[in-house]
Structure 1
Amino acid sequence: MPELREHRYTARIGRTSEDCHAAQRLRALTFLGDARGLDQDAFDDICTHILIEETRTGDLVCCFRMLLLTGGAEIAQSYSAQFYELSALAVFEGKMAELGRFCIAPGRLDPDILRMAWAAMTRFVDDNRVEMLFGCSSFHGTETETYVDAFAMLRERHLAPQHWWPRVKAPSVFRFGQSLRWHKPDLKLAMRHMPPLLRTYLMMGGWVSDHAVIDRSLNTLHVFTGVEIRAIPATRKRLLRALAG
């Protein structure tokens, strides 16, 4: 993926160990509240790291990593497979990419950061001919009460197709598909508490698991999220590719 640049932000692939450490520092700050440590795991060595930097200062404002799979037969090698039983996706024949550890620097509220991130994702997907994008979409904190309307809306409108259904694997989960079947969501509250990354997935026709994993190590609730590239509405594809240049 070549460097993407607009007047305020630049997106590029991390090439050096220092690039990787910069991403790990931002992840530690965002997920763990640790301003000095590193958030790292074994997947860092096999992923492509994408950095979004403020062009003028060089400050890292967003990062994420992409794991490229040749097809569903490799799904068990993904980060998500640690938490979700994904055998239904093993028959998917096209290339897949797992988006992980997405974070924006605390206090950075400019929506252009997210737009630049999606431009970089789009370029990566197109360059590698990816046919499904997937990953874990995180809600901050592990208390479910704040997100009841968001989860109820996911249950009502955005559950995975039966043939790709992610099943329970993690020991600690919130089964909102069952527990919220009688809860009518307040759509304004639902969208207010929906993570921006997940909101964009849904606008592209994305779908989610019927349960959220309670991940106390990262202080998050997350749902498995997938989107088939061919299912993205044509107008949305044109917008994303315009962003990607």
Structure 2
Amino acid sequence: MTQINPNPSDNQPEDPRPQDGDMTVDLTLDGLEEVDDLQALADEIADKSPEVMEEEVSNCPDSLLAKEFERSLGEAQARIQELEKHGTEMTDKHHRLLADFANFRNRASRDIQMAVDLAEKKLLLEVLPVLDSFERCLSSQYQSIGDFHAGVSLINKQFIDSLRRLGVEKVDLKPGDPFDAQNTEALTTTCDPSLPDGSIAAVFENGFLLRNSLLRPARVVVNHAEPSHHEDPESNS
């Protein structure tokens, strides 16, 4: 039950607004009976609420987290820009290396082809004089077969000298030498009692070495002696 104050001035409604920063509003049923305009009070409280909210947000620890997040975000963006710059530099370097390698490959191909051409030119320059000698031999008039044979022998020596200058040497083999499977190739066998068993009976094609490496094996006939059918006299005693 509401008590009536004898002092008329005390009949004014109690101010429900907070005093000295106290934002607590008394909205009890007893207070509502003394409020003349509840809508006006609500509007007044609503006008002051944004300022209070701004002060509370500024003092809230979440603002520190936001500042820390902004700082971390700035560092991350700076790192990303640094990495993008480094990636661009690496890409440019990679492209330069590809271009250098392509130039090197083309230059190496040209050098190899030039070396092959020079080797072929050197070989032909050594062989052509031998051809010239053969042509002169064929166009000459020899008095005897012996003179013709001597001319051909000179051409043969000229050709062997040309091969020697190119690094080609003939494998020195003659009948009676032991058969060597590394430098010779057996075509067939024969039986010659005057030669040791397993020796070379005849040289069909000469072998050649190119700078001490086998260029072509010699093709030879190998001697294979037949076993003796004579019995040992001591075996019968």
- TM-score, normalised by the number of residues in structure 2: 0.18
Higher strand share: 1
More RCO (CA 8 Å, sep 6+): 1
- TM-score, normalised by the number of residues in structure 1: 0.18
